[in-house]
Amino acid sequence: MTQVHNFIAGEYVASERRFKKYSPVTGEWIADIHEASREQVDAAVRAARDALNGPWGQMPLQARIAILEKVVDGITRRFDAFLAAECADTGKPTALARSLDIPRGAANFKVFADMVKDVPGECFETATPDGRGAINYSVRAPVGVVGVICPWNLPLLLLTWKVGPALACGNTVVVKPSEVTPQTAAMLGEVMNEAGVPPGVFNVVHGFGPDSAGEFLTTHPWVDAITFTGETRTGAAIMQAAAIGARPVSLEMGGKNAALIFADCDFDAAVEGTLRSAFANSGQVCLGTERVYVERPIFERFVAAMKTATEAMRIGAPDEASTQMGPLVSKEHQAKVLSYYQLAREEGATVVTGGGIPDMPAALKDGSWVEPTIWTGLPEDARVIKEEIFGPCCHIAPFDREEDAIALANATDYGLSAAIWTTNLARAHRVARQVNAGIAWVNSWYLRDLRTPFGGAKQSGIGREGGVHSLEFYTELKNICIKL
Ligand SMILES: NC(=O)C1=CN([C@@H]2O[C@H](COP(=O)(O)OP(=O)(O)OC[C@H]3O[C@@H](n4cnc5c(N)ncnc54)[C@H](O)[C@@H]3O)[C@@H](O)[C@H]2O)C=CC1
Ligand SMILES: O=C(O)/C=C/C=C(\O)C(=O)O
């Protein structure tokens, strides 16, 4: 059986306690995960502190960048192994992980290794009473040991989205991957060693949240900052832990994102984009669309086109070339999503398509499959409209006026992203400004540029990462004042 170890101070470390990892595709037991004890988490944090005070902290920027470029090469060289591990853990289609998850794993190191070469500073000449003046200038120092808590939906992508800039800025990290998808995080240890990253700079501890590695890490007094992606309630618990010692947090949390489809849109592009935003990665993307609002003149046509396109989607095992949608990540998550499918019926939804478990071949029967699902007819206060489901499903409702569409999009406690489909440029700008979300895509969805600010409003997050915003979180800005 595959053993997935912790990675502490440059070495793979076994734990006494272990838990089982099951395939989301077949339900089979595929690995044993070593659950870090409190002492092991402490050892990881101490190793990170030592590396910060030692070789990594002392290393000139150029040398650090050269090492991170070797990390990029290391991921690229092991592309197929990362791909296999990511698909085994998540069940996502190989084609998706090949084009998104694994390349982004490398790109997240490359982009920030490049970016730290040219960090601009501030400089002010200051008048003083003696007439000789002073010069103020700013420098950025690493924030310290960063605790990185990751979810299961895009495991390598989201881990490296945090670890890439953290290391580029000179920090050391202790990562707690999701207990559901721990394999690629552990594999990254080998890449780090090969690239010459000093022991202790990158550490991985496995386990759960409360009373396990997640809590041990976020409450550890030597962790200087915490970055998290996951559910809003977990983010709130982590914020409480971070309050002890007044440590900074960057939180990227849930969403209940809207798509606004105007009658003047490019119809086929809007259908294709909405299909992708609702069902990509089996709907397990925090930026995904779960609420679709369509201008009334094209409502019936849009629903019909979505139904046809959804029913044509091929659900299957990750490694089949024709697969467009895989299973959900786990049996637990399947039960959660199916409970919302049941709730939708109880709340009075019309099930346009889906709503259950697809009929799968015998070898896949024990996987965590659900049908891509579309509903109409729910009132806006239905729980299915209000709560993040995180599955391949969306509700489609009509609207009559632009201001109604904006009000509907904003009638949520979340504020992560929105997608607006229109060919009227003035409207695109107007609506994009008024939707209360961290990211507004016009005539697209998930079109990513890693230099742009990324994060959510309201209960979807605190802070922004991406581009200079990552540099701001992962560094302490210091002003140096020189009296002349
Ligand atoms: N990217 C996103 O926005 C994601 C949202 N979700 C949503 O969250 C729901 C629950 O999924 P989970 O994986 O359980 O998400 P979660 O937010 O509970 O877990 C995310 C990470 O936080 C850790 N964690 C949990 N409690 C913690 C604590 N008290 N202290 C420190 N670390 C802690 C987990 O072990 C995991 O590594 C999903 O059904 C989905 O709706 C899940 C994954 C990603
Ligand atoms: O592209 C990214 O950086 C992030 C994408 C998705 C998430 O953050 C998420 O689903 O949590």
Catalytic residue among 215, 252, 371, 472: 252
Q: Report yes or no: 439 and 287 within 8 Å, Cβ to Cβ.
A: yes
Q: Does any domain span residue 20? A: yes
Q: How far is the CA of 417 from the CAs of 338, 387, 389, in angstroms? A: 24, 15, 15
Encode pLDDT of 136-177 as tens digits: 999 999 999 999 999 999 999 999 999 999 999 999 999 999
Nearest to 148, CA basis, from 116, 185, 191, 107: 185
Encode pLDDT of 341-396 as tens digits: 999 999 999 999 999 999 999 999 999 999 999 999 999 999 999 999 999 999 99
Q: Does any domain span residue 216? A: yes
Shared-domain flag, residues 201 and 318: no
Shared-domain flag, residues 50 and 83: yes
Q: Does any domain span residue 41? A: yes
Type of residue found at 457: A
Shared-domain flag, residues 262 and 368: yes
Residue 482 pLDDT: 98
Shared-domain flag, residues 108 and 213: yes
| Domains contained in the chain, number | 2
Residue 244 pLDDT: 94
Q: Is 35 in the pocket of ligand 2 (CB under 6 A)?
A: no
DSSP helix/strand/coil, 268: helix
Quick check: 329 pLDDT over 90?
A: yes
Shared-domain flag, residues 299 and 199: no
Dihedral pair phi/psi, residue 411, rounded to 5°: -80, 60
Q: Please compute Rg for the chain using Cα positions.
A: 23
- Structure tokens of 193? 């060693």
Ligand 2 center from residue 286 Cα (angstroms): 6
Residue holding tokens 């022991």?
A: 199
Shared-domain flag, residues 128 and 153: yes
Shared-domain flag, residues 209 and 344: no
Within 10 angstroms of residue 344's Cβ, the number of other Cβ atoms is: 24
Ligand 2 center from residue 288 Cα (angstroms): 10
Within 10 angstroms of residue 156's Cβ, the number of other Cβ atoms is: 31
Nearest ligand to the CA atom of 414: 1
Q: Does any domain span residue 454? A: no
Q: Report yes or no: 63 and 55 within 8 Å, Cβ to Cβ.
A: no
Mean pLDDT on 287-300: 98
Q: Does any domain span residue 217? A: yes
Give the CATH number for residue 419. 3.40.309.10
H-helix or E-strand spanning residue 409: helix 402-410
Q: Report yes or no: 225 and 474 within 8 Å, Cβ to Cβ.
A: yes
Going by pLDDT thresholds of 50, 70 and 90, the confidence category of residue 120 is confident
Q: Does any domain span residue 85? A: yes
Greatest CA separation for the chain: 86
Whole-angstrom distance, CA of residue 71 vs CA of residue 173: 15
Within 10 angstroms of residue 480's Cβ, the number of other Cβ atoms is: 11
Quick check: 223 pLDDT over 90?
A: yes
E strands in 143-194: 145-149, 172-176
Shared-domain flag, residues 241 and 269: no
Q: Is 161 in the pocket of ligand 2 (CB under 6 A)?
A: yes
Residue from 157, 256, 465 whose mutation best tests the ligand 2 pocket (most atoms within 8 A of CB) = 157
Q: Does any domain span residue 455? A: no
Q: Is 287 in the pocket of ligand 2 (CB under 6 A)?
A: yes
Encode pLDDT of 63-92 as tens digits: 999 999 999 999 999 999 999 999 999 999
Shared-domain flag, residues 272 and 344: yes
Q: Is 472 in the pocket of ligand 2 (CB under 6 A)?
A: no
* Residue 418 neighbours by CB under 8 Å, 6+ apart: 257, 258, 259, 260, 409, 432, 435, 437, 439, 440, 441
Shared-domain flag, residues 223 and 272: no
Mean pLDDT on 27-49: 98
Shared-domain flag, residues 296 and 385: yes
Shared-domain flag, residues 181 and 247: yes
Type of residue found at 241: A
Complex ipTM over 0.85: yes
Question: In this structure, which residue's CA is closest to atom 2 in ligand 2?
Answer: 158
Is-catalytic flag, 252?
yes
What rounded mean pLDDT belongs to the chain?
98
Give the CATH number for residue 163. 3.40.605.10
Range of the domain at 124: 2-253+460-483
